[in-house]
Structure formats: structure tokens, C-alpha cells
């Protein structure tokens, strides 16, 4: 996803890993939120998961579905700006930080679900990794 770094007047647009921001948002919400806010977070998470599953199952573009999912999850936190943008799927290059993070997550899933250990994700295009995620949701 796109983020800004630097001071307000000198802020530069840069690509960040959306899962890093999401992790920070969730930790903040779970640490400082009231019980009612936590319930809202959990309900919003369930709603986002249901919407993602429906989109993936009905053949929507997987990358766009994942972007919509992340927007929905991040917007639960009031401090997150409504302008949440993502680069096109082809922007991510093999070996960059987003690609490496995705490979790591897929390897983690492999171990959790006893799936094809040792798959060479690090050699695959990001578009193909996104399709692996989508296929796992369809199963």
C-alpha cells in the first residue's frame, strides 16, 4: 500500500507492507480500546472476512478483493486516514520487501496447514502468490 513518510510539508509517498500497518492498528486497538471498541473491531473483522470470502468465491479479481479487505480492516481504527491506496499488483517485484513478506506468510501457512513445504515462493511473481492466497480461501 502507499504511505507517507517525513514531515507534513516534506512527506514523500512510499510503498509499505499493509500487514505491518494492520498489525500496529490491531495491537493499538486491543491494548487501548474499550470493551465496546474491541467488540466493534472484532465484528468489523468478521464482516471483512465474510465479504472477502464472498468476493473470492464469486470470481472477483483476487488482488482487488484483498485490497478492499485491507481497507475495510484498517478503517475500523478512527486514526487511519480514509485515503488508503495500493499500487497495482504488477508493481511488486520478486525479492522486494512486500514480496519477501508475502513469501514468509505463505511459508507460515504451509506449516500451519501442513501444505507443500519447501515451495519456492521466492522465485514466483507476486501475482501468482496472490492467486495462491485466493485458492486457499476457496478451499
Q: What is the pTM of this model?
A: 0.84
- Shared domain check, 96 and 56: no
Give the cell for residue 115: 501444505
The torsion angles phi and psi of 87, rounded to 5 degrees, stand at -70, 165
End-to-end CA separation in angstroms for the chain? 27
Per residue of the chain (139 residues), give pLDDT as tens: 887 665 665 667 777 778 787 888 888 888 888 899 889 888 988 999 999 999 999 989 999 999 999 999 888 887 777 788 899 999 999 999 889 999 999 999 999 888 877 899 999 999 999 999 999 888 7
In sign, the C-alpha dihedral spanning 94, 96, 99, 100 is positive
Burial class of residue 39 (count of CB atoms within 10 Å of its CB; 0-12, 13-18, 19+): exposed
The DSSP bridge partners found for residue 13 are 4
Do 78 and 95 lie in one domain? The reply is no
Instruction: Looking at the structure, tell me whether residues 2 and 34 fall in a common domain.
Output: yes
Domain range spanning residue 130?
91-139
Amino acid at each position: 500500500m502507499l504511505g507517507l513518510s517525513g514531515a507534513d510539508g516534506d512527506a514523500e509517498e512510499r510503498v509499505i507492507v499493509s500487514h505491518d500497518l494492520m498489525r500496529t492498528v490491531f495491537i493499538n486497538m486491543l491494548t487501548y480500546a474499550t470493551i465496546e471498541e474491541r467488540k466493534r473491531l472484532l465484528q468489523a473483522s468478521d464482516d471483512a472476512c465474510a465479504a472477502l470470502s464472498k468476493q473470492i468465491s464469486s470470481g472477483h479479481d483476487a488482488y482487488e478483493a484483498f485490497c478492499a479487505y485491507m481497507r475495510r480492516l484498517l478503517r475500523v481504527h478512527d486514526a487511519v486516514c480514509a485515503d488508503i491506496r495500493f499500487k497495482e499488483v504488477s508493481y511488486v517485484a520478486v525479492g522486494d520487501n512486500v514480496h519477501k513478506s508475502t513469501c514468509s506468510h505463505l511459508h507460515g501457512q504451509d506449516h500451519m496447514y501442513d501444505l507443500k513445504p519447501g515451495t519456492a515462493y521466492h522465485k514466483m511473481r507476486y501475482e501468482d502468490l496472490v492467486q495462491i492466497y485466493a485458492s486457499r480461501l476457496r478451499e
